[in-house]
Amino acid sequence: MGDWTDGLVDIIFDSSFMTLATADRDGLPWVSPVEFVCDEELRFVWTSVIGARHSQNIRANPRAALSIYDSTQTPGVLGAVQGLYAEGPVEELTPPDLEALRPSLAKWISWRDAGRTTPRTQLPDRDASESSWRFYRVNPTQMFALDPVQSTKRWVDWRVPVDLMDSFSRAYRSRLER
């Protein structure tokens, strides 16, 4: 797919927030902006208060959709904002899951927060199991982007499936070598 999929990977690495879409047991949708980190398997992790509406939705319906995009893109007349659109099952991470992911998540936070002037994201204390916050992870089963060629045409479905694993793995390894 080339350079434009590499651009999608850059958007993931450069973003702090994703838009998370959940639905309750009855299908009533809810959208939330959440700060995320990513592990080396291209799974998206965030933390939320147990009582948050999206956390309650996940307990009732453990599937979600997400969108990550560069909000500084210049809008076009016919073009659309490029980004990643994904969907998949969500799991609440257990303390052993989180402990296993800790090195990967810490790397991601350090890459993303380099040069950041706002407060940095903190991983929870190892004994934070009694906290009202929980970590969740979505493992995308489908990922899409907007086809940059088709996005200039009217009345065309611009969405195309993408496989970012090779580009993402290459970028992840590159950051490890720095």
Using the predicted structure, report yes or no on whether residue 113 has a pLDDT greater than 50: yes
Treating both helix axes as pointing N-terminal to C-terminal, what angle do 3-14 and 95-113 enclose, rounded to 10 degrees?
100
- Across residues 128-152, what is the average pLDDT? 80
Query: Buried b vs exposed e over 100-139: b needs ≥16 C-beta within 10 Å?
Result: ebeebbebbbebbeeeeeeeebeeeeeeeeeeeebbbbbe
Identity at 48, one-letter amino acid code: S
The sign of the dihedral angle between the CA atoms of 57, 62, 67, 68 is: positive
Using the predicted structure, report yes or no on whether residue 17 has a pLDDT greater than 60: yes
The predicted pLDDT at position 1 comes to: 45
- Across residues 72-94, what is the average pLDDT? 81
What residues contact residue 72 under an 8 Å CB cut-off, 6+ apart? none
- Across residues 105-119, what is the average pLDDT? 76
Domains located in the chain, CATH noted: 3-177 (2.30.110.10)
Using the predicted structure, report yes or no on whether residue 13 has a pLDDT greater than 50: yes
What is the spatial distance between Cα 121 and Cα 119, in angstroms, rounded to a whole number?
Answer: 7
Stronger pLDDT, 130 or 126, i.e. the higher one: 130
Smallest CA-to-CA distance from 10 within 148, 174, 160 is with 174
Using the predicted structure, report yes or no on whether residue 165 has a pLDDT greater than 70: yes
The predicted pLDDT at position 129 comes to: 57
CA 79 to centroid of chain Cα atoms: 23
The predicted pLDDT at position 110 comes to: 85
β-bridge mates for residue 88, sequence order: 64
CA angle 38, 79, 170 (to 5 degrees): 30
Instruction: Indicate the Cα dihedral angle 163, 166, 169, 171, nearest 10°.
Output: -100
Treating both helix axes as pointing N-terminal to C-terminal, what angle do 95-113 and 165-177 enclose, rounded to 10 degrees?
70
Instruction: Indicate the Cα dihedral angle 98, 100, 103, 107, nearest 10°.
Output: -60
- Across residues 154-158, what is the average pLDDT? 59
Using the predicted structure, report yes or no on whether residue 154 has a pLDDT greater than 70: no
**pLDDT-derived band of residue 30, with 50, 70 and 90 as boundaries?**
very high
**pLDDT-derived band of residue 77, with 50, 70 and 90 as boundaries?**
very low
The label of the residue with tokens 């509406």 reads 53
What is the rounded average pLDDT for all residues in the chain? 84
Joined tokens for residue 168: 């993402």
**pLDDT-derived band of residue 109, with 50, 70 and 90 as boundaries?**
confident
The predicted pLDDT at position 158 comes to: 73
